[in-house]
Structure 1
Amino acid sequence: MGRLLGAQLRRDRWQLAIWVGGAGLLAFAAASAVGAEFAAEADRRGIVALAATNPAFMFLRGVPDGIEVGAVVFFTTFAFLGVMAGLLSTFLVVRHTRADEGLGRIELLGGGAATRTAPLVATLLLALLANALLGGAVGVGMLGAGLDAARAMLTGLTVAAIGLVFAGAAAIAAQLLPSSRGANGVSAAVVGGAYLIRGAGDALATPSADLTSAESSWLSWLSPIGWGQRVRPFGDIDLWPLLLCLGAAALLAGVALRLRASRDLGASLLQERPGRARAGRSLRSAGGLAWRLQRPTLLGWAAGAAVLGTMAGALAPAVADALDSNAALSELIRRLSPSTRGDALDIFTTAILGLAGVLAAAAGVQAMVRLRSEESEDRAELLLAAPLRRWRWMLAHVAVACLSVGVVALCAGLAAGIAFSMTGYPERLGSSVGAAAAHIPTALVFVGLVGVIFGVLPRLTAPLGWGLLTLGIVVGQFGDLLQLPQAVQDVSPFAHSPGLPADRLEPAALVVLATLAALAVALGVAAFRRRDVRS
């Protein structure tokens, strides 16, 4: 077991270092920035009051729980740290279970002294170690910024516990699904769903009379991230939700081990349907093949975007009623956000459809990362041995990636518009679709960047591609909080994405983003044509 764990740790040492270091730096930078930017109690009271009365803010970040520096840091960063822990855990578990099984590595281990469940046990131990390191980095980062030591370390422990819950869920997905792509997709959807459910519960939160805190609705109890939020490390500490996270993680891990012990190597509890004996006409072209390979993934992203858009419209009456019933809250939002044109419902819609832009970018990145999988697993070499030009093969996948971006964004906008129409706001149908579509050029920039990485540094396509997307999100979401210079914030494409309907549309910015995306794709294709095909 020690050798298995050591081998897995060696393979993941650099990825773990990036995840752990990034989480620690984010926690330290956020705590330092809040302590410097909102040193005065009056300033913290103002930002907390804005959050407690703004459903969009609470959907994205969480519910406030006091005006102390630590409390402000916690509610502004905890949900994002929980997502980081979840994605780290799910990718790690699937990589060392279903992916290694598909590549034949676990079969080699099974031919030796390793038992059937030993690789999964080693993976779960590695997930425990990785989340402990991640949580420790978060705690040390907050401690280094001057926050209370015990409460900072409790925050890190809570983040680690959330990661363990998602690790157990990913272990079950690896037993149920026949491919690593399917297991990764379902596991990532669980993380995203937990974030959205927590966001919906927080958007419906009830603010306190003095606007220094808010109480989430019952929906947040359906999300592990919501459980962690209720620990309240910088408020009235409640350890029962933390114990719930640890208990759920242990239960899910036990179920995964039981499922692994009862199935054959290479099998899955959910079987793939056998394909047809002969390919259809659509598979006779590079574009048709790329579409067939990416279609299930695109459908998954589109479904997630549709759920997100539906939430925007479904929560609209609650947001409007909360503001209509209290004119003082509406006035406070206008006073604390003087630069915003729209009303509170516009701000809420902008925030949720902004997340749709992030989903669209992630769908495009995943479609482009598939290029590297096709190359490293030698399928690209077989195709390129036929009379198929390199540029045509790569552009086929680029076209599917661009299609993925457009479909995901428009599904979110259309779902939001339909939900608005059903809840009494039919005039928002067209504006919702337009607001979601405005994020497409920004998402296409990431498609182009991954294309450049694939052409120049193919082995780093996945880590650099996802890393750039994560960096863009952090700079775009936390740039103001971290007091980053405006020049640094402008590097992120998300900083130039129009926030409709609350902000004004600037067509010039969209044209520049689309041009940059096209130039990046052209550069990536040119670089791929000049290098060798590598495994």
Structure 2
Amino acid sequence: MSGLLHLVRFQAHRDKLVLPLWVGGIAVLGFATATAVATQFGDTPSRTAIITVATSSPAFLFVRGVPDGTSTGAVVFFQGYAFTAVLAALMSTFLAVRHTRTDEELGRAELLGSTPRRRSAPLIATLVLAAAANLVLAGTVGAGFIAAGLPVIGSLMAGAAVGFVGLFFGAVGAVVAQAMPSGRSANGAAAALVGVSYLMRGVGDAVGTPGADLQHVTSSWISLLSPIGWGQRSRPFTAADPLPLLVLLAAAVLLASASVLVRERRDLDAALLSRRYGKERAGLGGGSLFGLTWRLQRSTIVGWCVGAGVLGALAGAFGPIVRDAMSGSSALQDLISRLIPGVHADAVNLFITALLGIVGVLAAASGIQAVLRMRAEETEGRAEFLLSTPQSVERWLGANVLVAAGSAVLVTIAGGTAAAVGLGLSGTAPQRAGYLLPAALAHAPAAFVFLAVTALAFSIAPRLSVPLGWGILAVSLVLDQFGDFFGVPGWLVSLSPFRHSSAMPVEDFNVAGAIALTAVATALALSSVARIRRRDLTA
């Protein structure tokens, strides 16, 4: 037992900066949501109005979740639970993969394996650390809600809903780490499972059954396929029910036990899915830096495009459902007028705009991941071999930035095309579907900014490039989605590149904004290429 505790302490020491940032950031987001709801919707009529509109709108249900009453706590949980649960899930999967498959890939697990410990000891220590981190997260989120003035029991239950989702996905990350042959593929697969969970919850909520009082929605059975949907069913501020959380706990224990069982029976660095090796000779274009970069990135880019395509198809397919549900809703038009003054848009356009905005986030994430592939090449020693050939470090960075930009464009094209096809097949007028591809492409300039910032961080502070790249994306997303709701100053909200994307088809295409974003991205990319020649390769 003492050896296991030493391993837990060692892993916790390695994460002494990362985990507090995750836990603190999620807790602060929950506290800010509670404070904003109490400030902006302090009276019952205001909360009733927004819940009535949300209950009638599949778009709100898909993005936020299901309403469950008009108390302050219920509105807080409706506004913030789904987003914080996704963050907890990502925190846990990344933690599990980082200390298991990635350690095996980099050789650190081999050193631990040379000591007199059972081969699954590092994995068990990781599961213990993930459980402890999520318990702390649950308590911290609950404490933030209590500090914001929400009921104690409901606050603790809401914190537990977020923490237990994280606990479940920590076990999922451990299982995926046994199956995938590399840390990169394991992180990608685990993140994809988190995205699928969010989508299944969204679909199940969007086709749920509204109550007669228009203050509650009962999710369909589809949401039961999502761990996030199970956590939502705990209903912390209305009729607190711990049973769904116990289901998550039981599932987490089963998955964790399965991962330990597999680890005890497989060799170090082996995987349930075998590693694919390339051909003996490079094909057409494989002899160039750009061709090599594309070959290394293409499978990941395809994965991002598939995710964007699924999201776009849902946007198109649900268009008529949204139209029928919201026809004649004066409350929705009043809310639109409050949120987007001067804009007159129907519910279908609003729903599609919201989902294409998520496609834009996926495009930015795909570009960031493509740029950060260079950091993995550098730390694992492959960049050193590559740059020992007559290739300059500037050309290496430039090729990766170009592929990252292409990745962002392809993701937006996949999302927009799938949305157009889905809308056309759903029986909506074909001419309406024609604007969806340009609407999706309108988010590409903002994605360029994120990948260029990441490239600049890689060229100046490579050891910080990973947290900076993903951290800037997360902060910008929070500012864009919650900035106005939290009462953040306008100048600070405007720092988010997402704020300068054209929200087509609700808004007209902002030519000046697209040019400005592209110019900023180009300047940052050129600065990174000029700056990288001034530093050496780092481990």
TM-score by length of 2: 0.97
1:235 to 233, 238, 261: 238
2:526 to 516, 522, 525: 522
Between 1:177-186 and 1:335-344, the stretch displaced more is 335-344
Q: Shift in Å at residue 428 of structure 1?
A: 3.0
1:321-342 CA deviation, whole Å, 9 max, x = no partner? 3234xx3xx2221122123422
Structure 1 partner of 2:513: 509
Amino acid across the alignment from 2:451: V
Query: CA separation in 2, counterparts of 1:156 and 1:168?
Result: 19
Structure 2 partner of 1:143: 146
Q: Is the 8 A contact 1:207 1:214 kept in 2?
A: yes
Amino acid across the alignment from 1:459: R
Q: Is the 8 A contact 2:8 2:129 kept in 1?
A: yes
Structure 1 partner of 2:266: 263
Structure 2 partner of 1:336: 335
Query: CA separation in 1, counterparts of 2:279 and 2:186?
Result: 24
Query: CA separation in 2, counterparts of 1:272 and 1:458?
Result: 28
1:31 counterpart SS class: helix
Structure 1 partner of 2:395: 392
Structure 2 partner of 1:358: 361
2:100 counterpart SS class: helix
Structure 2 partner of 1:251: 254
Query: CA separation in 2, counterparts of 1:31 and 1:361?
Result: 29
Structure 1 partner of 2:496: 492
Q: Shift in Å at residue 206 of structure 1?
A: 2.4
2:215 to 182, 206, 212: 212
Amino acid across the alignment from 1:528: I
Pairs within 5 Å for 1:55-134:
55-134=58-137
Say if 2:199 is the partner of 1:185.
no
Query: CA separation in 2, counterparts of 1:333 and 1:209?
Result: 18
Say if 2:6 is the partner of 1:3.
yes
Structure 1 partner of 2:380: 377
Structure 2 partner of 1:430: 434
Q: Is the 8 A contact 2:173 2:190 kept in 1?
A: yes
Amino acid across the alignment from 1:109: L
1:44-86 CA deviation, whole Å, 9 max, x = no partner? 1111122112221221111111111111110110000110110
- Superposed CA RMSD in Å reads 1.2
Q: Shift in Å at residue 305 of structure 1?
A: 0.7
1:353-397 CA deviation, whole Å, 9 max, x = no partner? 111001101101111111111112222122222211121110100
Q: Shift in Å at residue 534 of structure 1?
A: 1.4
Between 1:478-487 and 1:458-467, the stretch displaced more is 478-487
Amino acid across the alignment from 2:335: L
1:235-254 CA deviation, whole Å, 9 max, x = no partner? 11222211111111111111
Q: Is the 8 A contact 1:204 1:319 kept in 2?
A: no
Structure 1 partner of 2:474: 470
1:444 counterpart SS class: helix
Q: Give the fraction of aligned pairs with identical amino acids, expressed as a percent.
A: 47
Structure 2 partner of 1:316: 319
Q: Is the 8 A contact 2:320 2:348 kept in 1?
A: no
TM-score by length of 1: 0.97
Query: CA separation in 2, counterparts of 1:534 and 1:182?
Result: 23
Query: CA separation in 2, counterparts of 1:183 and 1:397?
Result: 22
Q: Shift in Å at residue 143 of structure 1?
A: 1.1
Structure 2 partner of 1:408: 411
Count of matched residue positions in the alignment of Structure 1 and Structure 2 = 531
Q: Shift in Å at residue 261 of structure 1?
A: 1.4
Structure 1 residue runs of 5 or longer lacking an equivalent are: none
Q: Shift in Å at residue 320 of structure 1?
A: 2.3
Q: Is the 8 A contact 2:453 2:524 kept in 1?
A: yes
Amino acid across the alignment from 2:61: M
Query: CA separation in 1, counterparts of 2:173 and 2:501?
Result: 33
1:172-198 CA deviation, whole Å, 9 max, x = no partner? 111111111111111000001111111
Amino acid across the alignment from 1:497: S
Between 1:257-266 and 1:268-277, the stretch displaced more is 268-277
Query: CA separation in 1, counterparts of 2:433 and 2:320?
Result: 15
Structure 2 partner of 1:303: 306
Q: Is the 8 A contact 1:197 1:220 kept in 2?
A: yes
Query: CA separation in 2, counterparts of 1:197 and 1:428?
Result: 26
1:283 counterpart SS class: coil
1:337 counterpart SS class: helix
Amino acid across the alignment from 1:332: A
Query: CA separation in 2, counterparts of 1:377 and 1:176?
Result: 21
1:70-112 CA deviation, whole Å, 9 max, x = no partner? 1111011000011011000010000100000011111111111
Q: Is the 8 A contact 1:363 1:404 kept in 2?
A: yes
1:269-304 CA deviation, whole Å, 9 max, x = no partner? 111233222222422111111111111111111111
Amino acid across the alignment from 1:135: A
Query: CA separation in 2, counterparts of 1:277 and 1:212?
Result: 63
Amino acid across the alignment from 2:291: G
2:277 counterpart SS class: coil
Query: CA separation in 1, counterparts of 2:149 and 2:81?
Result: 17
Query: CA separation in 1, counterparts of 2:245 and 2:322?
Result: 30
Q: Is the 8 A contact 1:178 1:268 kept in 2?
A: yes
Q: Is the 8 A contact 2:201 2:228 kept in 1?
A: yes
Structure 1 partner of 2:43: 40
Q: Shift in Å at residue 117 of structure 1?
A: 0.8
Structure 1 partner of 2:444: 440
1:30 counterpart SS class: helix
Amino acid across the alignment from 1:335: D
